[in-house]
Structure 1
Amino acid sequence: EDFFETKVGIVTNLENNKIKMKEIDKYGNFYKDSEIYLDEIQLLAVKNYRLEL
């Protein structure tokens, strides 16, 4: 399946059915903040997560 868009970054917030993240460019630098609604996600891979209660 072809995916419309790929984003790589650090999740900064998860609420109101959306993910807020700082995107990382191909050089490993943060370059913009994004918001993605959960119903727009086709495939989500998570690595090295930490749960804070």
Structure 2
Amino acid sequence: MVEALQIPLPSIEEQRKAVEAVALLDARIAAQRAVVAKLRAAQSGVVEGLLSGGAHAMAA
């Protein structure tokens, strides 16, 4: 029964394009995660500085 089931597959070129698109998305995600990590580290530094009295918050 399973032998009679036909599953259409995209051409090799279409498969390559799909793989390339996913790889580009993976690269963008990795880059964004790196930016978020840097921003979180900066935020932690600012908060730590404010809480320790090392930096003064600007008066509003």
TM-score, normalised to structure 2, is 0.15
The structure with more strand, counted as a fraction of residues:
1
Which structure has the highest helix share of the two?
A: 2
Greater relative contact order (CA < 8 Å, ≥ 6 in sequence): 1
